[in-house]
Amino acid sequence: KQEVTQIPAALSVPEGENLVLNCSFTDSAIYNLQWFRQDPGKGLTSLLLIQSSQREQTSGRLNASLDKSSGRSTLYIAASQPGDSATYLCAVWGGGTSYGKLTFGQGTILTVHP
Amino acid sequence: GAGVSQSPSNKVTEKGKDVELRCDPISGHTALYWYRQSLGQGLEFLIYFQGNSAPDKSGLPSDRFSAERTGGSVSTLTIQRTQQEDSAVYLCASSLGAGHITGELFFGEGSRLTVL
């Protein structure tokens, strides 16, 4: 059974810092990996999708990397801003019999203070 | 509509009652997903529809849970004889074609269920 773990569970930083969120997964037979953002009381918004054949993806101040063989991904946020405060979720799309199934980590709660 | 719509947004029910949660996906989206988010439990996969069929029902926690999708559009998640442990936010998402390929997965804001 696929398990996804995110470290740290919570992170509080001053504005302007660069930061790294970590994600690990137990079954490397994934299809793709995706990072989401969730604001309190809201649904999820997709940030980045990394296909299993890719090593990284970038969008603005966000960069996500994937090391499929070691079961790890990191989300790098450059020059953090208070508006980045949210819960960040890592999720893996299953392969094989888990086709179409997205397994989520518990999330990292990020607070960026002015 | 412009996004994924879920109703009701909040539902309080008594233990033992049946509840129905509705998801209206983005028009034209063929794939539809249901997830449950419990306090301290993270997001849990429940079921996935491609069109009207559900190739993966493995996430439904018990036989009290069922879901259907008709006309390739609206989906209903039904929980029979609700228990307190069913209290959670139920999230629906839809995608055009295969979400695992495009990553273009759009979530609704969820239905918060409280079982007293």
pLDDT tens digits along B32-60: 999 999 987 788 989 989 888 887 787 89
A46 contacts on B by Cβ (under 8 Å) = 103-105
Burial of A1 (0-12, 13-18, 19+ CB in 10 A): exposed
As beta bridge partners, residue A32 has A51, A93
Indicate the SS3 state at residue B86: helix
Give the number of beta-carbon pairs within 8 Å between A and B. Answer: 65
Contact across the interface for B105 and A93, Cβ inside 8 Å: no
Give the pLDDT of chain A (114 residues) as one tens digit per residue.
Answer: 889 999 999 999 999 999 999 999 998 888 889 999 999 888 889 999 998 888 999 999 999 999 999 999 999 999 999 999 999 999 998 876 666 788 999 999 999 999
- pLDDT at site A95: 72
Q: Please say if the pLDDT value at position B78 is more than 70.
A: yes
Provide the chain A residues 46-105 that lie in CB contact (below 8 A) with chain B: 46, 48-49, 89, 91, 93-94, 98-105
- pLDDT at site A97: 65
Indicate the SS3 state at residue A46: strand
User: Would you list the DSSP string of A54-83?
Assistant: -SEEEETTEEEEEETTTTEEEEEE-S--GG
- pLDDT at site A99: 66
Contact across the interface for A44 and B110, Cβ inside 8 Å: no
A91 contacts on B by Cβ (under 8 Å) = 43
Give me the mean pLDDT over the B76-100 stretch: 92
Distance CA A98, CA A28 (A): 12
Q: Name the nearest CA neighbour of A82 among A12, A1, A5.
A: A12
A101 contacts on B by Cβ (under 8 Å) = 45, 48, 56, 58-59
- pLDDT at site A98: 66
Question: Does B50 reach chain A within 8 Å, measured CB to CB?
Answer: yes
Give me the mean pLDDT over the B65-84 stretch: 94
The pair phi, psi for residue A44, each rounded to 5°, is -100, 145
Of A31, A46, A107, which has the smallest distance from its Cβ to B105's Cβ? A46
